[in-house]
Structure 1
Amino acid sequence: MPCGGCTRLLPDPAFAQKNLSLLSLGWIKELQAINRTDRYIDLGSCVSLNGVLALPNIPALDPLKKALLTIGSASIRNRATLGGNICGRDSFGSAFPALSAMEATVELRSAAGTQWLSIHDLVGQDNLPAIPAGSFLDRVRVPLRDWEHNCIVRKGPGLLPGDTNITLTIVANIEKDAISEIHIVLTGRQLVRNRALEMRLTGKKLPLPAKESENCHHDFLESAVEAGLPAGQAIAVADSVRAFLVDLSGGAS
């Protein structure tokens, strides 16, 4: 099994019983590379989470950096890799919703060659993680597009991804006192994204009527419950969506 920092495997009490052979990719220089152009930044899959956080001020990376800061302690982030966080097979890591909202793409490598995919292609029809068999993540490409308004909300007791941890990412831009674009992504065991809600909000003049914020709260709550979130968590993330929209209305200019 290929691995980066192994921070998902080592805390697993069942790991020692699985008798797995691990292939460490963490020291391959190519997978640690960071390259930037005018339009995007490429992050190697074995760049550590702290390595991403240490990059100079790049406003386009703000949502991703906020997401990474919710993960474990500094020592865990120093060992954990971006690719490892993305490629969980039992649940989504906290970087995934940020990269989804930011419309990142990924390069996968296999014996057949390499291919570029939308990060959404790593989500199966059941909204569970679906990493293609026999492939490993080579690099992540993040568009250098600023999101003036963004927030990350993580809820759950654990330091590592799992069923009890969920992460909400919201990014939005405003033009001429209207929402020009908004993406709302929630991940835990499943990915939740209500694109109909996003389309409905796009183009809306600010401030939003209170009824509109309440309708969005209801719709996202419904999506979260349908995805199997416990009622308490579903209500909490729907509350966060509503709070973001209220703040967005107050920040319109």
Structure 2
Amino acid sequence: MKQPPYHISIPQNLMDLLSLYRKNPASLLMAGGTHLLNHTLNREGEHYSILSLTQLEELQKISRTDRYAEAGCCVTINRMIETAYIFRSPLLQDTLCQMGPYPIRNSATVGGNLCIPGRRKDLFPVLQLLDTRVEIRYVKPKRNKRMSMKSRWIHINNLLSHDGEINLAEGEMITRVRIPYYDGNFTFHRKVNIKDDFYLSVNCLATIEKGVLSDIRLIFTNEEKLIIRNRDIEANLLGRRFPLGKKDHDQLMGNLSHFYMPNENPYETYLIRNLFRQLLESLADPPENLQGTW
């Protein structure tokens, strides 16, 4: 009898899931499966062990405090959109609403979007700007050989290795994200196609007071592991009054090439410059772009 191409386990609690994952760390974790079904489970001749997360209610919870909101890794994109009043971030809301059509957003999850191999999708740069922390859980045997669940929180910056891959040890998984509230009044989100289904995005959070930029967080990403948040760019913008004069505008555009390493793809370099120009124009138009209290 021919062996099926995959074996699916459906744990009923987190301890069972992590115990199975420790025994077989090569298993694929599946919640919504939007990327997994389209890009991973299509290689003929390979056998897959799949751990389904669909029955774990603990990973589908949303909560908040006065300082931050939390979402389990299996919270869907549409559910985050529907509970936008909890996350209180116009930038996050704009990003979520542009993450594909409704049926995809209804299945795609927070954890899945963060952990796609070799890709840094829409959520990652935005959560970086918001200084998000992620909870990582795993099980470890005690002296009596019984399993004990462990957890740790890390900043999302530390989730990536030097080569841009997700930096998790065998048997570890992301279970929650903790998103602090940001009190700025300006957001900017642009996403354009580079090739196939790869996109270049520019995201910005800022505070503008009486036309003066008092705080800014800016990040570029091209989904192919490249994420650039250059503090020199931010420092160069900080304290400037908008709208800019022509001299200051030309200086900032000229300095961009020093802060952003030109890519081998000239089209991508052109897009970066064009999107940065759009950002400067948006900062110069606060009545339309300033965000009120969420």
Return the TM-score normalized by structure 2: 0.76
Distance 1:143 1:232, change over 3 A: same
- 1:8 aligned partner: 35
Query: Which structure: larger Rg?
Result: 2
Deviation at 1:35, TM superposition (A): 0.5
Secondary structure, counterpart of 2:124 in structure 1: helix
Q: Deviations over 1:119-140 (max 9, x none)?
A: 11122224x2333132211111
- Looking at structure 2, the residues matched to 185 and 32 of structure 1 have their Cα atoms a distance apart, in angstroms, of 28
Distance 1:157 1:28, change over 3 A: farther
Deviation at 1:223, TM superposition (A): 5.1
Deviation at 1:215, TM superposition (A): 3.6
- Looking at structure 2, the residues matched to 217 and 58 of structure 1 have their Cα atoms a distance apart, in angstroms, of 37
Deviation at 1:101, TM superposition (A): 1.2
Matches within 5 A, 1:1-253: 1-12=28-39, 15-17=42-44, 18-57=46-85, 60-112=88-140, 113-126=150-163, 128-134=164-170, 135-156=172-193, 164-187=198-221, 188-189=223-224, 190-221=226-257, 224-226=260-262, 228=263, 230-251=265-286
- Looking at structure 2, the residues matched to 59 and 210 of structure 1 have their Cα atoms a distance apart, in angstroms, of 38
Check the 8 A contact 2:136/2:175 in 1, yes or no. yes
Q: Deviations over 1:175-198 (max 9, x none)?
A: 243211111112211112211111
Question: Which amino acid in 1 is paired with 2:283?
Answer: L
Deviation at 1:33, TM superposition (A): 0.5
Distance 1:130 1:218, change over 3 A: farther
Q: Deviations over 1:61-85 (max 9, x none)?
A: 2111211222221000000001110
Q: Which moved more, 1:236-245 or 1:47-56?
A: 236-245
Q: Which runs of 5+ in 2 are unaligned?
A: 1-27, 141-149
Deviation at 1:114, TM superposition (A): 1.1
Distance 1:138 1:150, change over 3 A: same
Distance 1:21 1:59, change over 3 A: closer
- 2:11 aligned partner: none
Return the TM-score normalized by structure 1: 0.87
Deviation at 1:169, TM superposition (A): 1.0
Question: Which amino acid in 2 is paired with 1:234?
Answer: T
Q: Deviations over 1:33-72 (max 9, x none)?
A: 1011111000111000001001143573211121122222
- Looking at structure 1, the residues matched to 259 and 192 of structure 2 have their Cα atoms a distance apart, in angstroms, of 17
Secondary structure, counterpart of 1:63 in structure 2: helix
Q: Which moved more, 1:31-40 or 1:179-188?
A: 179-188
Check the 8 A contact 2:194/2:200 in 1, yes or no. no
What's the C-alpha RMSD, in Å, of the aligned pairs? 2.4
Question: Which amino acid in 2 is paired with 1:198?
Answer: E
